[in-house]
Amino acid sequence: MSLSIINPYILKKLFKLAFAVGFVAFGIVCSSHAQNQVAANTTPVSNKKAAKNSVVFTEKERAYAMKRFQLTSDLFAKEIAGLSDAQLNFKENPKRWSIAEVAEHIIDAEYGVFSLITKKVLNTPVPVGKDDYRIKDQVIWMTVTNRNTKFNAPPQIQPKGKYKTKSEIMSAFKKARKTTMGYMEKTDIDLRNRFAQNPVLGMIDGYQWFLFLNAHSYRHLHQIKQIKKHKDFPAK
C-alpha cells in the first residue's frame, strides 16, 4: 500500500505516537471517518437503510473478523503446546520477556481492549460527519504487526508472572478469546458507526478496534517465535 494514499494526520500518528495498549486509561474521543464505498455483495447488520456510500458493519466483515480471531487462537495454541517450564520461562536477558510473560501480556490486552470496546467505544454517540474520511482496515494490520518498530507496553498490561504453567496460560487465553469471539459472532450493533481514539492510528471505528485487538495478538505471537529461535533457548 502506498503511504501517499494515507491521510497525513494518520501518517503522523503512525510514526510519531508511541504505541500503547493501556486500554483502561485511554481517553475516548469521538471523531469523523469514512470510506469511499461499501461492497455491493454484503448484507448490512443494521436494519436501517444506510445513506449513499455510508459505511456499515456487514456480515462479510463479521465472518472475516471471526476467521482472523480463529487464526490467532490456533497459532497461540500451537506456540504454547509442548513447551516445558524451562522453555516457558526462558529469558534472553533479565530485561526481556519470557514466553509465559508474552502470553500473559496477550491475555491481559485481550481483556483490556474488549472492555474498552464494549464499555466505551460502542457507547459513544455517532459522530457528525463521520463519513468524511476513514483509514483503511489494512493499515491497522500492517502497522500493529510490524515488529521492526519497538514499543513499550504500559504498566497496566506488563506481565506480573501470574501464570506458572502452560495449562494456566491456555485456560486464561481461551476464556478471554471466547468472550471476544462470542461478542463478534452475535452483536447487532453497527460497529462501523462508533469511534474512539487509538494511540497509534488516530480515530478508528469499533470494527477496526476488533481488528486492532487481533493484530496485537499476532504481533506478540511473532515475538514468541523469535524467542524460540534464540541460540540459548532450552532444547526441552
Residue 195 has φ and ψ, to the nearest 5°, of -130, 155
Q: How open is the CA angle 80-140-126, to the nearest 5 degrees?
A: 120
Tens digits of residue pLDDT in 108-136:
999 999 999 999 999 988 777 766 668 89
C-alpha to C-alpha distance for 220 and 56, rounded to whole angstroms: 30
Cell 487464526 belongs to 71
Is the pTM value of this prediction over 0.85?
A: no
Q: Spell out the domain ranges in the chain.
A: 58-228
Dihedral sign for Cα 38, 42, 47, 49, please: positive
C-alpha to C-alpha distance for 8 and 4, rounded to whole angstroms: 8
pLDDT for residue 16: 41
Tens digits of residue pLDDT in 64-81:
999 999 999 999 999 999
Centroid of chain to Cα 116: 12
Residue 102 has φ and ψ, to the nearest 5°, of -65, -45
Instruction: Give the max Cα distance, the chain.
Output: 59
pLDDT for residue 131: 67
Cell of 152: 513499550
158: number of Cβ within 10 Å: 14
- Report, as ranges of residue numbers, the positions in the chain whose pLDDT lies below 50: 1-6, 8-44, 46-52
Which residues are CB-neighbours of 186 under 8 A, at least 6 positions away? none
Cell of 45: 447488520
pLDDT for residue 219: 97
Quick check: 169 and 103 in contact, CB under 8 A? yes
- For the domain spanning 58-228, the CATH number is 1.20.120.450
Running DSSP on this structure, what letter comes out for residue 209?
A: H
